[in-house]
Amino acid sequence: MCKISDDMRPHPVVVSALKMVCAVAPGWRVIPIPDIIDEVCKGPEMRKQVRSNPYIYRGNLPLKTCHELLMVSLDIEKNLHEVSLPFLVLHGGDDVVTDPSASKLLFEEASSADKAFKLYPGMWHALMAELPQDVERVYSDIISWLDKRANCAANVSMNTGTASA
């Protein structure tokens, strides 16, 4: 969550009001969590598993939690250029929960020299809840990205004579 889409971004007056109410009642649980499982998971079996998971919180969110999520998201968006560590961003092209353009923005703005962005057309938000062949492709891309870096690190340590952990 590195950017709130423009159509979801609250008006500055709403943000100010939220901050004031949070000061008085930070634990007030009034922000509902919409049921988005049908937009996140393609497979009916995966939907069933997610819905039956007792560890998924289903209540309303406290105001302070929502305020902090908003503040950190705005801060991250403002400082994307400071991201300098290697990273891989994977995003479903048909994700309706998180706008793929936010992931693309992170990729474009980050100062990291080692960064990659992969968009999966037709895939949704939960890449590990896609069809089995698509999940395999995602895992393969992740493992390839990690292997390339692990092999580079191993080659560097062998060439310099240092031990690697």
Residue 89 within a domain: yes
Whether residue 124 lies inside any domain: the answer is: yes
Is position 6 within any domain?
no
Please measure the distance between the N-terminal and C-terminal CA atoms of the chain and give it in whole angstroms.
Answer: 32
Residue 5 maps to a domain: no
Residue 141 has pLDDT above 80, yes or no: yes
Q: What one-letter code names the amino acid at 140? A: S
| Residue at 133 is within a domain | yes
How far lies 135's CA from each of 67, 83, 90, 139, 146, in Å? Answer: 34, 27, 12, 6, 17
Give the pLDDT confidence of 91-137 residue by residue, as tens digits. 999 998 888 988 999 999 999 999 999 999 999 999 988 888 999 99
User: What is the pTM for the complete model shown?
Assistant: 0.74
CA angle 76–80–81, rounded 5-degree value: 145
| Assigned domain for 165 exists | no
Chain segment 73-83, per-residue pLDDT in tens: 889 989 999 99
Number of domains in the chain: 1
Structural domain includes residue 2: no
Q: Is pLDDT of 61 > 80?
A: yes
Tell me, yes or no, whether 77 lies in a domain. Answer: yes
Contact 90, 143 (CB under 8 A): no
Q: Residue 150: give its domain's CATH number.
A: 3.40.50.1820
Answer yes or no: are the C-beta atoms of 128 and 135 closer than 8 Å. yes
Domain region containing 139: 12-160
